[in-house]
Structure 1
Amino acid sequence: MNPNSARLSPARRLAAAAFGLAVVAVIGACGEGSGSTCATCDTGRPVVTLTQTSSTDSAIAFTTHASDNLGLLTVHARVTAAGLAGGFDTTFTSAVTSVDIPYTLSIPSTIPTGTQITVVATAMDGAHNAAHPDTLVITSGGGGAAAVIVTNPHSTDTAVVGFSLAVAISGKSASKVKALGYIASGVFATPFRDSVIFSSPLLDSIALDTALSLVGASSGTLTITPFMIDSLGRQTLGNPVSLFVTNVVPTNTIPIVDFSIPSRIESRDTIHVEARDRSGVTWVGYEVRNLPSGTPFFSADSVAVPANTSSVVHTFRMNLPVTSFPTSLQVQAFARNANTRDYARKPVGNGGVIRTDTVIVVAGLTTPLAAGGLVADALYHPPTNSIYLSNIERNELDVFNLNDSTFHTPIQVGSRPWGIAAWPRDRDGTMGDTLLVANSGGTLISYVNTNSQREVYRYPLPVLLAQSVTSTTGSNGLLTETITDYFFSDRPQYLAATCQGAVTPGTPCGNVVLVYTTTPTAGQSTPFVNDGTVRWENLQTHQSHFFFEQAMGQSADTKDTLQVQRIAAQGVGTTSAIVPFRQQFVNSPTDTAYYSIVVKVPLLGFRDTTYTRNSGNFRRAVLGEGGAAGGTGTQPNSRAMLYDVTSGFTTSFVDKFGVGHVLPVPVIDNGVSGSFLVTDFIANTSTPVSGVAINFDGELAGVRADSTYLFDNSLRLQGLLQTSSGNAGIDFHPQNAGVPAPGPSLGTHLFFAASKQPQVEVYNTNFYARCLVVPTRDPVIGPIKSAPIGGGNVVLVGATAHGVVIVTVTAGQLSACS
């Protein structure tokens, strides 16, 4: 039902008028407050209910259901939040007893994710009986409602007057956690309130370990109610936990201990130990022993606990001297009370068996992102020995320094940073002191200075407008030309940095040509509603190119001539036709030649998402298009391409009479692999693409689908690696060069791939075989990068669900892969 009133035919208006008179008569006879006891009066209330149907960053949606036994008159819904208002009023002019009204409200970008939006709906029937209002609270962004819980103590615990009690609280909010705390009541004269306020950058989830002193408390029932305050100042209360407080200190107790540790750990992981004893806990710790016998003793740690503490929570950072992975070990926790009684392992079952967990120690060091968020891309920068990660949710680059294995201060950039590339210096792969970052939330490329660790400039990308001029011959033999505009988003996504100049090793780079893919938006032209594009921008001459070479050709009945207009942004570069519709050459007064580009229009677009990576020597870039293998509708099969910046443009042509002409505007970039090469590659490997990689000199590239397919610079398939589908991260060894050939790999002809399993797989690209598996704590679900760290060792950096994992693969391991 549309929230607006319906238009009625004359006959239905007459019926509605009669219905309205009847309603007036009934109200006059037994209106509210009249005191009438008329048996024919309608006193039943309508019923209204609200149901949420969706919530995203840009809109919320809900459905209002209303019903009445005789007939509804109106249904109202009001939407309110800070900075937001909406709703509808629907009036019925005929007898409607039941209705469902869907409603969608756009959310302005000024409304933070996690904002609570309140919807109140009511209804009224023809007798003016009002329904009880129904209320619905929706959280913008679909992040779910905020929550806060007490994880310690437990309702089965007993505390002691005069002792301290460990309190652990966890909270989460899509609007970030500003403060966590608790209210203690029941054993104090007045409720006691304590909290911790967190400083920026705020996190969307956090845990707090603190202590509650029971000095001055009385015996009885203690109730602890957790609360959380988000960045918008809104308070959320959690479920309370109640436990008994006694003033009797026992003398014959044994500490109760529990601990938590994952089944797969890294050598510097943490173990969480909890201990409780009414006579007081004085020590708490853990032990690690070898398998299979549990001896000899392997590692341990413990801490003293302040006096008069009946429960304690402590997190230990382990430092296990493990060098071979995976390694299985046994873990136990212990505590000692004030009566020096220990063996404080928590009994399991009636047999009193001491709890022992078996853990597997794996390679790597996982570090959570300093302020949370989501990693979109990563880059290793040798001059600073740092990993730079684009945090698309926090509009920053997170900086992980390999010298001290810590995150340094993040670098603020533009909106929704995605791809990262380094400024090229020379053909040896030397990176400059500038990083280029694609701001996918706008149309800008950030320049980040790695010396000052600051953003210093934003390059405004131009608008590239593609147009087709369709020539159709009618039945009368006349030629009709129609110009059609195709509006694509100009927002950059992935980047590949290349540079012009000689290809000899050590040669300094010329102009930097940045290849970039674009991410689509909803307002694009048909048939490119969900398609992106591939382009390049010369960052010094401000010349632009729109990749059309893969689409050159014509359909059987239609000739679509291409024109591309460059519209300069913020005065950078010029506004001009970079692909003119027609270039004209006059051979003689009676002989004119024309030069145009004819394309198959649907092949101009690239799917979302299209990946790109540059070779280590900045000469080539690989492009891989995601999507279903067989294509849907007008979409082509998933395609893979290469680009060689040194190939240059076609600068002349010969007309049909054999006359040569120099093009005023060269348009065909010879570095873009032609469509026949793309088709040939897909004919061999028609599968969706989920990631791409390219080796140092660009002679070998890989695309990942159901397996990983390796191809040379002419897109000829060389072989495949039996990687699994799923997690897409792949990268070549940083010194992998050339094409596969017989002989040993020398520890460099290698390829790294993430897996659905918690491991990184290493493949020999000469023989296409897996030669090493490196176990990790968590699967790598984002990009993976390799970088040399001296001595023939390589460090792998991958994004996981819990942060960034750093794994060192030794020279010995790599040599064994030969």
Structure 2
Amino acid sequence: PQGVLELTFELEGALDTTLVRTFGAAVDSIRVDTTVAIPVGLSGALNVSVRARNSVDIIGGDGPVAANVVTGGAGDSEPPSARLEVSALPKLELTDSIQIQVLGNDDAQGSGIIQAGYTVLAISQARQDTLVRSGSATFTPARTGTVAAQFSVPVFNVDSLSLPDTLQYEVTGYLLDQAGNCSAAVSDELQQLECGNRGGAIIAEGRLGQRLNRAHVSGRTVQLPSGGLIMDAAVDTARRNLFLSNLTRNRVELFRLDSESFGPPVGVGSEPWGLAFSRDGDSLWVANSGGTNLSVIDLEQEREVESNRFLTPDVVIFDIELNAGETATTYKIYPLPTGANPSFSDRPQFAAVDSFGSVIYSTKTTLIGDIGTARKAFFEDGSDRSEVKLFVEHALTTPADDFWAVAHIDSIGTSLVETQIGSITITTAALTLYDHVPGFPDQVIVGRANTGSGELPTDAWAELVSKGSDAYMVEGARWDVPSLGFRDTTYVAGSGDGGWVAVGEGAREPVARVLMYRAQPGGATGLSGFIQVADLLTNPSEQVKGLGMNYDGTLTVVRGLQAAYFISPDLRLQGLTGIPLATTGAGAALHPLHADFRTLENPDGQYRPDTHLAFVGTGERTVDIIDTFKFLRIGRVAIRDVVVGPLKAILPFPEDNAGFQCSAVDVTDQAGRFIGQAVQVYEGNDFNAPIVPNGITEDRCVVVKLFGTTSSGGVVVVDVRKADILREHPER
């Protein structure tokens, strides 16, 4: 026997219908009990036949069996039994939905269920208004036994200019049988409540619906179509694309902002993390943290240019010790980190591109204890190969006689030179520093020193530099390796014009730091200085959890575990603002046209309340909006999840404000150059004169668009409106 796969029941006469029962696996024998509901009003002869089909399509049958249908007395008067299941996210975005399931069954002798439906009341206590929506699903033929119908109802009756907006939803489910009997349900237990009517929609008579209180928040969260872990986001405004680094899938996801749909992902290197655009805007750098390289994506072709993958070299620094004895002088060389300790990590993490096109990037710490670093990758015009240099200027050195701390060279050689003076053999030490001309690895250059000639390592270094080396040396000192490296996630942020890059260390041990780099050509890595984050709040446990820099580098925001700190390029604290539940969450950004902040280096800077704004993620599922001159929270945007990674800000697209009245102001940088137009928020550049809700700039005008990675594993896209900017303003 081949086994039965399918049974077909055919009814002819008073009722013409066919029922088919299929089985997942063929069986040798089977018994099936089924019930057929006879609609009210039918009568006459009824023939029932059955056919069985096996796995090789051989069919056998039986019947017909004759029956006679007669009209009953009172008919079906028993309503179905129904129950209701309702669910929704704890906080709802305007594109989210409420999930409703109506389940139940008709009685065994019933006429069968022909409709399942729902009614939702969206009640605003603040506005004292209620809107009603309803929907249904029909069953043909009528269903006997258990039925289930699922519905997805988009949120409604929400005031998008007053988010968060809390509504109370009241949901009723119902079932209707063929005889016209209706049962309503407001619970997840079976009920037979009397059906009533409200504005043409079915409700439970005399009963409130199942209640669901929900806050509605700003933003639209984008989840990856096939999962993964997002580490960074970058917005290509020219092509309207959002790029998301997917660490676990070794690719960069491409989300098209115009169609709000995902395009084909771009395969890159191992464990992609940080993203940064090239200065010409044609390429996207991707820091592959699972390897020692960076990918380059062509933004027009939307693919990696394999031949342009940037390969980074190993990095070693050295301590040189001179031991001078009565008859012998020797050098001892200490490559650092030593073999007994973790090495410098070469695995790129976050990145930014400076105005010369060089890539400033951090390297990640590893589980085996490898130390994170900050580096500069550059390519000299006309050179044979790219170069990478380690930032060392921020590192501490330990004073030590007869020691020299050296960086940015390839290797060191030592030898002994014996000189016979009478019966005495004098041994002196020769030192050779090896390097190459930056960009030309085959052009080896050397610097030499011999103690017999009274020469020291500084003489070898001077000779090397005179031949074109970029070697770095500190005399009378040893490297303090822990102070050079980083022990936690290290953020990197660049100014809009590429003139400055900030590097923020997240570690607590030995202490978190912020480094500032002013863009310089070639291999120059001089830092303007660095500041320990503890200096900002006299709290050694403070960390960096986000970093943002304004357009011309005149102000940087550091998101800590307690507050947002605002520092100028000379690393002087300009102000701070507390962050609610700051130990949870991350992310900080400045208005894309924030520029010309007044500092000691820029004494003629101008306060511009329209653009001097910061956006900081909090643990309260909000993005706080801070005036960076008053250091006052003046607004906030409620979102669904917590921002846990970098926060990016761009100007709105033209269509975001189409049909709105949105006045604009011209913005210039510290050099007086025009850099763009911003939506005007204040009258006459006066903080105390915010524009009224329906003034020359309406409250619904989008001022900035934000993008941030969130605790849900997605990226939230937030339109920050004028109403959000001024939500807590003292004059509103």
TM-score by length of 1: 0.59
Aligned to 1:471: 321
Aligned to 1:536: 376
Indicate which of 500, 517, 521 corresponds to 2:362.
Answer: 517
Task: Give, as a single letter, the amino acid of the residue that structure 2 aligns with 1:192.
Answer: G
Query: What is the CA distance between 1:289 and its match in structure 2?
Result: 2.2
CA contact (8 A) 2:502 2:515 kept: yes
Point out the structure with max Rg over C-alpha.
2
Q: Deviation string for 1:172-204 (max 9, x for gaps)?
A: xxxxxxxxxxxxxxxx9985379xxxxxxxxxx
Query: What is the CA distance between 1:492 and its match in structure 2?
Result: 0.9
CA contact (8 A) 2:636 2:725 kept: no
- The alignment partner of 2:305 has SS state of strand
CA contact (8 A) 1:747 1:815 kept: no
CA contact (8 A) 1:565 1:575 kept: no
Residue 276 to residue 669, structure 1, CA distance change in 2 (3 Å): closer
Query: What is the CA distance between 1:320 and its match in structure 2?
Result: 2.2
Aligned mates of 1:348, 1:262 — CA distance in 2:
18
Aligned mates of 2:150, 2:327 — CA distance in 1:
87
Aligned mates of 1:558, 1:806 — CA distance in 2:
58
Q: Deviation string for 1:716-751 (max 9, x for gaps)?
A: 111112122321111111111132689864321111
Aligned to 2:485: 605
Query: What is the CA distance between 1:612 and its match in structure 2?
Result: 0.7
Q: Deviation string for 1:504-551 (max 9, x for gaps)?
A: xxxxxxxx100111124466xxxxx43111111114551322111112
Residue 282 to residue 697, structure 1, CA distance change in 2 (3 Å): same
- The alignment partner of 2:394 has SS state of helix
CA contact (8 A) 2:598 2:607 kept: no
- The alignment partner of 2:245 has SS state of strand
Q: Deviation string for 1:473-515 (max 9, x for gaps)?
A: 5686975432222342322111011122xxxxxxxxxxx1001
Aligned to 1:448: 297
CA contact (8 A) 2:512 2:534 kept: no
Task: Give, as a single letter, the amino acid of the residue that structure 1 aligns with 2:586.
Answer: A
Query: What is the CA distance between 1:761 and its match in structure 2?
Result: 1.0
Aligned mates of 2:511, 2:490 — CA distance in 1:
13
Task: Give, as a single letter, the amino acid of the residue that structure 1 aligns with 2:716.
Answer: V
Aligned mates of 2:231, 2:631 — CA distance in 1:
28
2:510 is aligned with 1:623: no
Aligned mates of 1:410, 1:336 — CA distance in 2:
45
Indicate which of 708, 711, 715 corresponds to 1:801.
Answer: 711
Aligned to 2:40: none
Indicate which of 379, 390, 403 corresponds to 1:559.
Answer: 403
Aligned mates of 1:467, 1:293 — CA distance in 2:
65
Aligned mates of 2:152, 2:533 — CA distance in 1:
57
Query: What is the CA distance between 1:789 and its match in structure 2?
Result: 1.0
- The alignment partner of 2:725 has SS state of helix
Indicate which of 548, 572, 576 corresponds to 1:716.
Answer: 572
Query: What is the CA distance between 1:814 and its match in structure 2?
Result: 3.1
- Structure 2 unpaired stretches of 5+: 1-7, 10-19, 36-74, 107-112, 192-205, 338-342, 412-437, 462-471, 600-604, 658-678, 680-702
Query: What is the CA distance between 1:767 and its match in structure 2?
Result: 0.8
Task: Give, as a single letter, the amino acid of the residue that structure 2 aligns with 1:532.
Answer: G
Aligned to 2:43: none
> What does 1:219-368 align with in structure 2 at a 5 Å threshold?
251-279=78-106, 280=113, 282-292=115-125, 296-307=129-140, 308-309=142-143, 310-322=146-158, 323=160, 324-331=162-169, 332-338=171-177, 339-342=179-182, 344-347=184-187, 354-368=209-223
Residue 282 to residue 401, structure 1, CA distance change in 2 (3 Å): same
> What do you get for the CA RMSD once the two structures are aligned?
3.9
Query: What is the CA distance between 1:341 and its match in structure 2?
Result: 4.4
Aligned mates of 1:775, 1:574 — CA distance in 2:
53
Aligned to 1:415: 270
Aligned mates of 2:641, 2:304 — CA distance in 1:
32
Residue 306 to residue 379, structure 1, CA distance change in 2 (3 Å): same
Aligned mates of 1:732, 1:770 — CA distance in 2:
14
Aligned mates of 2:168, 2:537 — CA distance in 1:
53
Query: What is the CA distance between 1:387 and its match in structure 2?
Result: 1.8
Aligned mates of 1:481, 1:683 — CA distance in 2:
44
Aligned mates of 1:577, 1:678 — CA distance in 2:
39
Task: Give, as a single letter, the amino acid of the residue that structure 1 aligns with 2:252.
Answer: L
Aligned to 2:635: 772
Residue 562 to residue 619, structure 1, CA distance change in 2 (3 Å): same
Residue 590 to residue 758, structure 1, CA distance change in 2 (3 Å): closer
Task: Give, as a single letter, the amino acid of the residue that structure 1 aligns with 2:297.
Answer: V
TM-score by length of 2: 0.65
- Structure 1 unpaired stretches of 5+: 1-160, 163-187, 195-214, 220-247, 426-431, 501-511, 524-528, 650-666
Say which is worse superposed, 415-424 or 589-598, in terms of deviation.
Answer: 589-598
Query: What is the CA distance between 1:388 and its match in structure 2?
Result: 1.1
CA contact (8 A) 2:704 2:721 kept: yes
Aligned mates of 1:700, 1:330 — CA distance in 2:
43
Task: Give, as a single letter, the amino acid of the residue that structure 1 aligns with 2:168.
Answer: Q
CA contact (8 A) 2:648 2:708 kept: yes
Query: What is the CA distance between 1:454 and its match in structure 2?
Result: 1.4
2:537 is aligned with 1:639: no
Residue 712 to residue 295, structure 1, CA distance change in 2 (3 Å): closer
Q: Deviation string for 1:349-402 (max 9, x for gaps)?
A: 999753222222221222321111111111111112222110101111122222
Indicate which of 704, 707, 718 corresponds to 2:563.
Answer: 707
- The alignment partner of 1:551 has SS state of coil
Residue 474 to residue 709, structure 1, CA distance change in 2 (3 Å): farther
Query: What is the CA distance between 1:679 and its match in structure 2?
Result: 9.0
Q: Deviation string for 1:64-93 (max 9, x for gaps)?
A: xxxxxxxxxxxxxxxxxxxxxxxxxxxxxx
Aligned mates of 2:634, 2:616 — CA distance in 1:
12
Residue 726 to residue 319, structure 1, CA distance change in 2 (3 Å): closer
Aligned mates of 2:442, 2:625 — CA distance in 1:
48
Query: What is the CA distance between 1:296 and its match in structure 2?
Result: 4.4
2:582 is aligned with 1:737: no
> What does 1:41-120 align with in structure 2 at a 5 Å threshold?
none
Aligned mates of 1:545, 1:752 — CA distance in 2:
33
CA contact (8 A) 1:443 1:492 kept: yes
Aligned to 1:546: 390
Q: Deviation string for 1:615-657 (max 9, x for gaps)?
A: 11111110011211xx3xxxx42211011113x58xxxxxxxx
CA contact (8 A) 1:258 1:345 kept: no
CA contact (8 A) 1:257 1:333 kept: yes
Aligned mates of 2:305, 2:33 — CA distance in 1:
58
Aligned mates of 2:285, 2:258 — CA distance in 1:
23
Residue 691 to residue 589, structure 1, CA distance change in 2 (3 Å): closer
Aligned mates of 2:609, 2:529 — CA distance in 1:
34
Indicate which of 688, 693, 705 corresponds to 2:543.
Answer: 688
Q: How many residues were matched structurally?
A: 532
Aligned to 2:24: 192
- The alignment partner of 1:380 has SS state of strand
Task: Give, as a single letter, the amino acid of the residue that structure 1 aligns with 2:473.
Answer: I
Aligned to 2:351: 495
Task: Give, as a single letter, the amino acid of the residue that structure 2 aligns with 1:318.
Answer: P
